[in-house]
Amino acid sequence: MTLPVRTGLGSFVSDTLSIVTPWPAHIAGDLGILIVEADNLATVTNLDSSWTESTASPQVTSAGGSSSTRLHVWWRYALSSSEVPPTTTVDVSANHVAGQIVTFRGARPSTIPPTAPFDFQVGNVDNAGIAAFTIPGGTTLGADRLIALIVGGGRDTLIDQASGWTNASLTAVSEWDDNWINVGGGGGFAIATGDRVTAGVVTATTGLLATTSKQTRVALAILPDIGSRMARISFAELELPNADRRGQISFAELELPNADRRAQVSFAELELPNPDRRAQVSFAELELGDANRRAQVSFAELELGDANRAAQISFAELEIPEQTRARIAWAELQVPNELNVAGGGDYTIMLRRRRRGNIHF
């Protein structure tokens, strides 16, 4: 995997009641993040329902004072290289609204769980009206996360405000834009990113505003695209119903580049009618390199018609990171005599005559 990268900064736009926020140059698959700041009493509405609001949004300061503010963050994947700019409105009680779209490339596609391309989405506010800011952190579950950092305020100014972005748990912490307005009550926001190359705790990011202000802050841990994954699936021995027949199927390299990254072996009907027949499925090495991978072996109907039948599925090495599932399921398993199924050396499941069962890892 490689870190997502910021690819574009759209124009910063502002008005008193409504803004149309343009996309920067982009291609299909880019992740767009729409950031909107308004005064804290405003009702902010994104008229384009294809955008999803972050679970860390909105962040709203308390009322009172000249720097009260609110921050909204939405995200959306570009479906083409010519996406329509979203329209964002505020109600008549508001005095300003400002927004900008930032794009990222190499983020995890929406077709791969989790649907939201973030390890964490967090935010907080400061109601005291100070210069120092502290953006909360979180925990990344894997490598190569890009942490997007946003601080907003309600100060009426045209001067860039944020500086001194610092986070010892990130590398390459860089500010990308810093925009403020004096329309209405005034306000704005600054955007930075930092790299988190290993899984673990991302501590709070600190910095300083040039002018004291009530503040809103948001941090997003952007997931990387998974890319191609390799898995080896082999049938070491598959003994067929007729005598002295063996069949072997081997996949030296199986690329699973699309959604859910699933390796599946399916027997719609496997009948073993004669004595001493075995069906064996063996994964010598199956590496599922990232979260949300599934290895599935399913027998819709597995009939072991006589005594001394054995159905064996073994994983010599199965590496399963967190949030990964390996599943072995028998929709119908009919066993006329006792069958022992063991795995991992830590359990044995006894299936008695004409029992059905499922085994789930």
User: Is the alpha carbon torsion for 44, 111, 118, 296 positive or negative?
Assistant: positive
Q: At 235, list the tokens.
A: 């049938």
Q: Which string of b and e fits 166-201 if b means at least 16 CB within 10 Å?
A: ebebbeebebebbbbbeebbbbbbbbbbbbbeeeee
Q: Please, what sign has the CA dihedral across residues 202, 4, 81, 10?
A: positive
Q: Worst-scoring range by mean pLDDT, 128-142, 219-233, 268-282?
A: 268-282
**0.85 surpassed by pTM:** no
Place 145 in a pLDDT band, splitting at 50, 70 and 90.
very high
Mean pLDDT of 51-72: 93
Confidence of residue 272 (pLDDT cuts 50, 70, 90): low
Q: What is the pLDDT of residue 314?
A: 52
Cβ atoms of 222 and 146 within 8 Å: the answer is yes
Given a cut of 60, is residue 114 above it in pLDDT? yes
Contact status, residue 152 vs residue 67, Cβ threshold 8 Å? no
Could you give the CA distance from residue 288 to residue 203 in angstroms, rounded to a whole number?
A: 29
Out of 103-112, 299-308, 348-357, give the one with best mean pLDDT. Answer: 103-112
Q: Which of 26-35, 84-93, 272-281, 333-342 has the lowest mean pLDDT?
A: 333-342
Q: Is the pLDDT of residue 176 over 90?
A: yes
